[in-house]
A and B are shown apart, each in its own frame.
Chain A
Amino acid sequence: EVQLLESGGGLVQPGVSLRLSCAASGFTFSSYAMSWVRQAPGKGLEWVSSIGVSGGAAFYADSVKGRFSISRDNSKNTLYLQMNSLRAEDTAIYYCAKGAYNYFDSWGLGTLVTVSS
């Protein structure tokens, strides 16, 4: 069974950095592209970033380009999202999702990031 467990969320002030992690199990992590999708409180889903199997290819939403960086460690079956210069509008539940080049076929439970002074 695919399991994706996000961690690293919390309450932070505007302008600071935060790194999210997603521990994957139940599938061959190194064979799948991975993604982050977020959902602001009471709002819809927004794709944030995706990364290829080797980490060489990465894609970002315009809203986070230049501030967020996606990476992965296939030896640890872990996906990361480094978030810098956080803004209030980055407040959301961040979901780790399996897949990128097509659909997201499995999702984690999410981790809440709140950016507020």
Chain B
Amino acid sequence: EIVMTQSPVTLSVSPGERATLSCRASQSVSSNLVWYQQKPGQAPRLLIYGASTRATGLPARFSGSGSGTEFTLNISSLQSEDFAVYYCQQYNNWPRTFGQGTKLEIK
């Protein structure tokens, strides 16, 4: 099983600033990496797939990068609606595995 490790667990950032979230895979997942956003009481929402492709309608302030075992989600100029929990997930191997999540909170 591929273990996905996200860091940091909690990230405190001020609105308008940039947030950088990391995700590491225990073995290569190529570019088969996706990012989701989840707000309290809501289902997860697809943000980025293929490590760097934005989902339809996602603002350009969200960007993903990386391949192999190291991945990054960047959110430039944070808006109030961006504060949420973010999960990475690999779809290179079965079982599909998620990171434990990074909570992005308002500083």
Number of B residues whose C-beta is below 8 Å from A? Answer: 22
In the complex, the answer to whether B87 meets A44 with C-beta atoms within 8 Å is: yes
- Interchain residue pairs with CB less than 8 A apart (17): A35-B96, A37-B44, A44-B100, A45-B87, A47-B97, A47-B98, A50-B96, A59-B94, A101-B91, A103-B34, A103-B46, A103-B89, A104-B36, A104-B44, A104-B46, A104-B89, A109-B42
Query: Is A95 part of the binding interface, using a Cβ–Cβ cutoff of 8 Å?
Result: yes
In the complex, the answer to whether A102 meets B44 with C-beta atoms within 8 Å is: no
| Bound form: Cα–Cα A60–B46 in Å | 22
| Bound form: Cα–Cα A108–B45 in Å | 10
State the Cβ distance, B65 to closest chain A Cβ, in Å.
Answer: 17
Query: Is A105 part of the binding interface, using a Cβ–Cβ cutoff of 8 Å?
Result: yes
Interface residue SS majority, chain B: loop
In the complex, the answer to whether A105 meets B55 with C-beta atoms within 8 Å is: yes
Q: Type the 1/0 row for B63-107, where 1 means its CB is closer than 8 Å to any CB of A.
A: 000000000000000000000000101010011111111000000
CB-CB under 8 A for A62 and B46, given A44-B101, A103-B34: no
Scan residues 71-115 of chain A and give those whose CB is less than 8 A from a CB of chain B: 95, 101-110
| Bound form: Cα–Cα A46–B87 in Å | 11
State the Cβ distance, B85 to closest chain A Cβ, in Å.
Answer: 8
Interface residues of B, Cβ cutoff 8 Å to A: 32, 34, 36, 38, 42-46, 49, 55, 87, 89, 91, 94-101
Return chain B residues, CB-CB under 8 Å to A37.
44
Given contacts A44-B98, A44-B100, 17 further A-B contacts (CB under 8 A): A35-B96, A37-B44, A44-B87, A45-B36, A47-B95, A47-B98, A102-B32, A102-B34, A103-B34, A103-B49, A103-B91, A104-B36, A104-B44, A105-B46, A105-B49, A107-B43, A108-B43
In the complex, the answer to whether B44 meets A45 with C-beta atoms within 8 Å is: yes
Return chain A residues, CB-CB under 8 Å to B89.
45, 47, 103-104
Pick from A45, A62, A102, A104 the residue with the most CB of B within 10 Å.
Answer: A45
In the complex, the answer to whether A59 meets B43 with C-beta atoms within 8 Å is: no
Pick from A50, A59, A103 the residue with the most CB of B within 10 Å.
Answer: A103
In the complex, the answer to whether A46 meets B98 with C-beta atoms within 8 Å is: yes
